[in-house]
Structure 1
Amino acid sequence: MTALIEIRDVSHTFDTDGGPLHVLDHLNIAIEEGGFTAVVGPSGCGKSTLTRLVSGLMKPDKGEVWLHGEQVRGPRSTVGMAFQNPVLLEWRTILDNVILPLEIVPNKLSKAQRAERARFLLDLVGLAGFEDKKPSELSGGMRQRASLCRALVHKPDVLILDEPFGALDAFTREDLWHTMHKVKAEEPFTGLLITHDLRESIFLADQIVVMSGRPAHAQYVMDVPYNGPRALDDLYTPASAERLNILRHQIQVAQGRAPAEAEAAQ
């Protein structure tokens, strides 16, 4: 496979009232086409800044971000995004919320085709029958499913997920992990996930990047072999337990609470 997303020697600094805030330092990450990369690390290490750079909402001070072999210089219609807060429009139905990107991104779909596309995705994530409901009538997990549909409705090549399941209870979060595997099988995309949940990163991703320091760099990269849809029981195998321990150690290294001597994942 070839790298669809390339973060090449990226550094970034914010101007603040207290002076320059260096966030990223010579960051290099490559994400293969069709791959799913999770980025983990302590709060404040630049994970969300990374998503804004990849999506084209910000430009790096130094270095380059490449997508599809082209340098990213602004927002791209080939990128979909979902966040911890679903940010659904309360005055629109769930169906109309999902359709919204198709009203903005240029496309040749008729009104009926847009609705058909949205209904297909809602059915895929288990929201068939809720199309005419308003966001206030849905649970947090259901709203996040609708947000995921909205991010995918225009068939983006890249899906950026910035802690989309962080505010949900454990049962709903695990259910949505399964949904993500189902969606990716039906609607292929290249994924970039920001998360604080190490189990989530192991369950969903085939590559995990641990970011460390301020300014942050890619401290450690772990490959997670993908052999088909995963089950929660897979998180309790010896291999997953070893990966979890290595990631925990790397987070402790990033926080300055452990020496940097982690072994490579097997």
Structure 2
Amino acid sequence: MAEPLINITGVTHAYKTQSGPLPVLAGLDVEVPEGGFAAVVGPSGCGKSTLTKLIAGLMKPDGGEVRVHGEPVKGPRSNVGMAFQNPVLLEWRSILKNVLLPLEIVHSPLSKAEQEARARRLLALVGLEGFEEKRPSELSGGMRQRASLCRALIHQPEVLILDEPFGALDAFTREDLWQIMHEVKKEEPFTGVLITHDLREAIFLADEVFVLSGRPARTQYRMTVPIEGPRDIDHLYTPEAAEMLNILRHQIEVAQGRAPAEAS
């Protein structure tokens, strides 16, 4: 059996503080196959964002291994795209220029004309055609997040990390962007890791959901999402989705110490 594209095994990590080490991760195991999409959920402060930094090579684990394509991650990787809750768009640049920004840092085999054509195609894919020359302040929160997603994808990353990118948006806009994410993934294949507090978001977007325990965190539970074929929001209102949500809610309560480990 082929090794997963992302393979995190027995990872431990502690932050250094004035009062001594602060353990965050203790025995974390996560794997994502090539082209797969994993969601990571758990109580606040359980190390979900730390996990994204380890995958991106922005920090090293104290123990265990983080491997991509079977090779240990030893430093920042140019084939990783990242999008966060705050889009962090540069106000003095147009939306088009914001999307193109990573290509000023990461080498691209595309010509300038091809880069711009790609940026325009991505913006059209997420519904921002005609807004290329607008400034971020002229766009709604949901539109800015769409632009942020295009920026994360502009250099054709192999791995896309999404750290609560839709958390600050209203429910309607979030659902709209979830659907767009599925369309984007069909057109722009990537291996995805989503950090989220929204369990509905997790089961709608992901193939597998990993539940982390409290601090220091370990992998407490792993759920395969058995939704085949194209997904639409109606999937979230089925008995199967309700059952998955109940299981995940219970596992979160276990992680918080508010419920016994056995099924409720």
Q: Normalising TM by the smaller chain, what interval?
A: over 0.9
Structure 2: distance between partners of 1:69 and 1:96: 35
Q: Do 1:211 and 1:219's aligned partners in 2 also have CA atoms closer than 8 Å?
A: yes
- Report the Cα offset of residue 105 of structure 1: 0.6
Q: Do 2:152 and 2:160's aligned partners in 1 also have CA atoms closer than 8 Å?
A: yes
Which residue of the partner structure matches residue 25 of structure 1? 26
- Report the Cα offset of residue 190 of structure 1: 0.5
Which residue of the partner structure matches residue 178 of structure 1? 179
Q: Which whole-Å deviations, capped at 9, do the CAs of 1:238-266 have from their partners, x for residues lacking one?
A: 11111000000000001111000138xxx
Are residue 251 (structure 1) and residue 252 (structure 2) matched?
yes
Which residue of the partner structure matches residue 188 of structure 1? 189
- Report the Cα offset of residue 103 of structure 1: 1.1
User: Aligned runs of 1:231-246 on 2, under 5 Å?
Assistant: 231-246=232-247
Which residue of the partner structure matches residue 158 of structure 1? 159
Are residue 68 (structure 1) and residue 73 (structure 2) matched?
no
Structure 2: distance between partners of 1:254 and 1:73: 30
- Report the Cα offset of residue 89 of structure 1: 0.6
Which residue of the partner structure matches residue 110 of structure 1? 111
Q: Do 1:207 and 1:222's aligned partners in 2 also have CA atoms closer than 8 Å?
A: yes
> Matched residue pairs, number?
263
- Report the Cα offset of residue 233 of structure 1: 1.2
Which residue of the partner structure matches residue 53 of structure 1? 54
Structure 1: distance between partners of 2:225 and 2:3: 18
Q: Do 1:24 and 1:214's aligned partners in 2 also have CA atoms closer than 8 Å?
A: yes
Structure 2: distance between partners of 1:249 and 1:202: 15
Normalising by structure 1, we get a TM-score of 0.97
Structure 1: distance between partners of 2:263 and 2:211: 12
- Report the Cα offset of residue 229 of structure 1: 1.7
Q: Which whole-Å deviations, capped at 9, do the CAs of 1:41-85 have from their partners, x for residues lacking one?
A: 000000000000000000011111111121110111111000000
Q: Do 1:2 and 1:33's aligned partners in 2 also have CA atoms closer than 8 Å?
A: no
* 2:254 partner amino acid: V
User: Aligned runs of 1:33-48 on 2, under 5 Å?
Assistant: 33-48=34-49
- Report the Cα offset of residue 225 of structure 1: 2.0
Q: Which whole-Å deviations, capped at 9, do the CAs of 1:140-197 have from their partners, x for residues lacking one?
A: 0000000000000000010000000000000000000000000001001000000000
Which residue of the partner structure matches residue 141 of structure 2? 140
Q: Do 2:3 and 2:70's aligned partners in 1 also have CA atoms closer than 8 Å?
A: no
Q: Do 2:36 and 2:192's aligned partners in 1 also have CA atoms closer than 8 Å?
A: yes
Normalising by structure 2, we get a TM-score of 0.98
- Report the Cα offset of residue 2 of structure 1: 4.3
Secondary structure in structure 2 of the residue aligned to 1:143: helix
- Report the Cα offset of residue 226 of structure 1: 3.8
Structure 1: distance between partners of 2:255 and 2:33: 25
Are residue 201 (structure 1) and residue 194 (structure 2) matched?
no
Structure 2: distance between partners of 1:18 and 1:140: 39
Q: Quick one: percent identity of the two aligned structures?
A: 73
Q: Do 2:3 and 2:69's aligned partners in 1 also have CA atoms closer than 8 Å?
A: no
- Report the Cα offset of residue 17 of structure 1: 2.0
Q: Do 1:53 and 1:65's aligned partners in 2 also have CA atoms closer than 8 Å?
A: yes
* 1:176 partner amino acid: L
Are residue 127 (structure 1) and residue 121 (structure 2) matched?
no
Change (3 A) 1:230 1:144: same
Structure 1: distance between partners of 2:255 and 2:130: 46
